[in-house]
Amino acid sequence: MRIVVAGGAGFLGSHLCDALVERGDHVVCVDSFVTGSRANVAHLIRSEAFELLEADVCDGFSVDGEVDAVMNLASPASPTDYFRLPIETLDVGSVGTRNLLELARTADARFFMASTSEVYGDPTVHPQTEEYWGHVNPIGARSMYDEAKRFSEALTFAYHRTHGVPIRVVRIFNTYGPRMQADDGRVVSNFITQALRGEPLTIYGDGSQTRSFCYVDDEIAGFLALLDSDEIGPINIGNPGEFTMLELADIVNELTANTAGVVHRPLPSDDPRQRCPDITRAVEVLGWTPHVDLRAGLERTIAHFASVL
């Protein structure tokens, strides 16, 4: 297939481009490089199966030739970025998503929407199933990201119902691995960066809040399974292994031989107390399960950070 990947130079987008090219697809990577990095896709530039188009999906842009699928990963996705770019985050979730949906509609192409577990907010249902509508503060400190993705989902389904656009919607849970930005504000990158510098790891609150961490290779395999299926979604793709922040900190300190321990800071507002995917649907309809456990994935991620810091 010839596939447009919006946000293809980002953390997840670049790994997705790798996987698509490796399996024989032709990729048109669209990125504005506001948060993406040319270094993430530099190794693909010489491939005949890869095109790089610098463009902002919120602006008018065109893709020449046939398009079989449009995959929308265009959005700031780390706290550092969406707190720095709140209006731009809302724009890309609304205007940008609509422009990409229009591209899919006019090309008669499949549309893949990368949504997020943030649509569940601070959940009152645990683990979170796709049927759960969420518990989100629409005007809270982090609402720019939560609401942008919730709107993107609504717009995607509206195009499906109104125009018959074939859609696939994935809800991504915390993903980690090589090519994460060292300063992106996510807990895995924060902990690893601090540990490699011999600093205490910053834990917000008492550290009892939980997250579920999926290694990037597993996440991308889930994307492709959904893209190639007849399922519409939304479907949770994440690792159901659940860890407290204290448990994660202990593992990172152990793997990096960091003896500085941890330091506690006040818990930010609207920070979810727990987050864990119910992946029953992914297992049953996609035949997908994650395979990389947390320690193995952290070892690979630590090696990457050690090489770039």
DSSP tag of 19: H
145 is catalytic: yes
Find out whether 14 and 41 touch, Cβ atoms under 8 Å: yes
CA dist 224 to 35, 216, 227, 233, Å?
23, 13, 5, 13
Cβ contacts of 215 within 8 Å, gap of 6 or more: 175, 176, 177, 239, 290, 292, 296, 297, 300
- Bridging pattern class, strands 175-176 and 214-215: parallel
Q: How many whole angstroms separate alpha carbon 2 and alpha carbon 195? A: 41
Name the token pair of 140: 């809270």
SS3 276: coil
Instruction: Give me the catalytic one of 145, 159, 176, 215.
Output: 145
Radius of gyration of the chain (CA): 19
Task: Pick the closest to residue 101 from 113, 88, 85 (CA basis).
Answer: 113
Q: How many whole angstroms separate alpha carbon 196 and alpha carbon 257? A: 9
Beta strand segments in 153-293, E: 167-172, 175-176, 201-204, 210-212, 214-215, 235-237, 242-244, 262-265
**Residue 264 β-bridge partners:** 203
Residues belonging to the active site:
145
